[in-house]
Structure 1
Amino acid sequence: MPVTIKSAREIELMKEAGRILEIVHDELGKALHPGMTTLDIDRLGEEIIRSYGCEPSFLNYNGYPASICVSVNDEVVHGIPSAKRVLKEGDIVGLDAGVIYKGYHSDAARTHGIGEISKEAKDLIQVTRECFFEGIKFAKEGNHLFEISSAIGRYAEERGYGVVRDLCGHGIGTKLHEAPEIPNYEMNRKGMKLRKGMTLAIEPMINIGGCAVNWLDDDWTVVTRDGSLSAHYENTVLITEDEPILLTLSK
C-alpha cells in the first residue's frame, strides 16, 4: 500500500477530525472516576463523537465491538468495554479513540490515573508521553521514518522501561490504518524519507516491565506477559517542511 500525501483540502478535513477527537479525549478525561464502568466510558465517548456529526472509527472495525478502546492496568491496548469492569482508585486506564469526519480519520490515545495512583504509575504515564515528544523531534520533511522509532525506543529503554514490539503506529487518512507502519523501537535501517503532507498516527506503548505481550481469548485485548502496568500515548501528526502539526493536540 503506498503512503498517501494529503492535499490542502484533505489536511483541513483531517484537522477538523483531530480537533473533534481532542474534545472527546478532554471530556472523557474529566468524566473518569472510581466506580465508573469501562462500558460507561465507551457510551459517553460514542455520544460525544456522534454529537459532532462524526462516526467512531473503531466501532465494528475488523469486528471490534465498541467505539472506545478502554485498557486498564496491564492491558496494553484494545481492551473491550464491559459493564462488569469497574474502575477503582489507583487504576490506570488507557483510552484509544478515533473519529471519522467527512470520510477522514483521526486517532489518538491518552492514559489516565483514577484517583490517587502510585508514583511508578505516574512516572510510567509521564515517560510514555515524553517518548512521543522525543520521537516527533524527527517528524519533519527530509528526515527518515525510523529516526522517530529509534528516538522513542531509546528514551524508554534508557529509563528502564519495556517497549512493546508487537504493535506499532501507522499512516492514517481515508483509512484508519494506512502505510507506513511506525515501530516504537530502534530499527537496523533508516526507513522511508518523510514528505510534507504525510499524516501519521505515532503511538508509544510502554510497559513498566518487559516488552513481551499476550492476546487474550477475545482476540483483541493485549496484555503485558509479566502482568506489569502499561501506558499508551498517541496523536495524529501532520508532516510539514518545519515542525510537525499535532492534529489531535492543540495545547
Structure 2
Amino acid sequence: MTIPLFKGSEVDRLRRASQAAAGTLAYVASRLAPGISTADIDAWVREDTARRGGKPSQLGFHGFPATVCTSRNQVVCHGIPRPDEYVAPGDIINVDVTTFLDGFHGDTSATFLIGEVSAEARHVVDVARRCRDAGIAVVRHGARLGDIGAAIEELARKEGCSVVEEFGGHGIGHQMHAPPTVPHTGKRGTGIKLRSGMVLTVEPMVNLGRPGIRLMPDGWTVVTEDGSLSAQFEHTILVTGDGCEVLTRQELVLEIPVPTLPRLIAEASALHGG
C-alpha cells in the first residue's frame, strides 16, 4: 500500500480544494431552513462549487447520482437528495461536500440542528463533533492510525453513544478515496505510522443507539439498524511534525433557526414555485 506524501505546491492546491469544499458547506448552512428539500441542497452545492471553479467530486462516483450526501436523522451516511424529502423543525441533517479543484479533492461535512431539537438529538450531534476533534487531536508524525480510532471510540462510549465500524475516513489527494483507510474504532499503538505529508479525512459516524447499520434498497442510503439518531462531522487534515493542519477549517453555524410562520410560508412558496 503506497500512501502519498504531499509537499510544496501540492499542499497549496490541497488547501484550495479543501477551502472550496468548506466554503460550499458554509454557503449551504447559510441557506438551510425548514421547508427546503434535500434536492435544493444538491442544487446549491452544484451552483456554489461551479462558482468556486471546482467540480462536485461525489457526482457519478461509483454511480452516485447527486453532488452531495444529505443524511437526516436515522440516516448514517450516503443519503441521496430528493425533491420530495423536506427538512423539518426538529431534524438533524448531515451535509457532506467534496470538491475537486486544480487536480485535488477536499472533503468535509457537518450535522446541523433544525430549530428546536430533542435533547437526544443535541447530544449525539455534540458527541459526533467532539469525537471528530478527539481523533484529530492525536494526529502527528509518528502517531499510529489506531490512536485515532481509539480516541474516538473512548469518547463515544463515555458519552453513551456508539461508533459505526463499517465506514471510516480515508486518504485523499488526487483521488477522493485513497489509502489508508482510517478506522474510527481501534487500539492505541496499532496500525501504520503516520508521516508528515499524509492527507487524511477524520469523519466518525456516531449513533445514539447501537452501532449496527442497514443498507436501504436504493443501494446507497445507510440507516441505523435500531432506528436511532446518527450524526457525523468531517475534516480533511494534513499530518505535520508536531500535529496536523485542518485544511477544511471553517466557522459554521450549526443551529438553524425556524422562521416565523408567515416568513416560512413565503420562503417555501418562493423555493418551490408557488
Cα distance in 2 for partners of 1:130, 1:214 equals 25
Structure 1 residue runs of 4+, over 6 Å off? none
Conservation of the 8 A alpha-carbon contact between 2:34 and 2:88: yes
- Which residue does 1:132 correspond to in 2? 132
Please show how residues 88-237 of structure 1 align to structure 2 within 5 Å: 88-187=88-187, 190-237=190-237
Cα distance in 1 for partners of 2:92, 2:202 equals 21
Q: TM-score, normalised by structure 1?
A: 0.98
Q: TM-score, normalised by structure 2?
A: 0.90
Classify the secondary structure of the residue corresponding to 1:106: strand
Classify the secondary structure of the residue corresponding to 1:239: strand
* Per-residue deviation, 1:158: 1.4
Conservation of the 8 A alpha-carbon contact between 1:154 and 1:186: no
> 5+ unaligned residues in a row in structure 2: which ranges?
252-274
Conservation of the 8 A alpha-carbon contact between 1:164 and 1:206: yes
Conservation of the 8 A alpha-carbon contact between 2:150 and 2:188: no
Cα distance in 2 for partners of 1:212, 1:120 equals 18
Alignment pair present for 1:74 and 2:80: no
Cα distance in 1 for partners of 2:135, 2:168 equals 13
CA gap of 1:22–1:161, structure 2 versus 1, over 3 A, is same
Conservation of the 8 A alpha-carbon contact between 1:99 and 1:107: yes
* Per-residue deviation, 1:238: 0.4
Higher Cα Rg, which structure: 2
Cα distance in 1 for partners of 2:126, 2:161 equals 12
Conservation of the 8 A alpha-carbon contact between 2:72 and 2:94: yes
> 5+ unaligned residues in a row in structure 1: which ranges?
none
Aligned length: 251
- Over the aligned positions, Cα root-mean-square deviation in angstroms equals 1.1
What percentage of residue pairs aligned between the two structures are identical? 37
- Which residue does 2:268 correspond to in 1? none
Cα distance in 2 for partners of 1:10, 1:220 equals 32
* Per-residue deviation, 1:74: 0.3
* Per-residue deviation, 1:7: 2.2
- Which residue does 2:46 correspond to in 1? 46
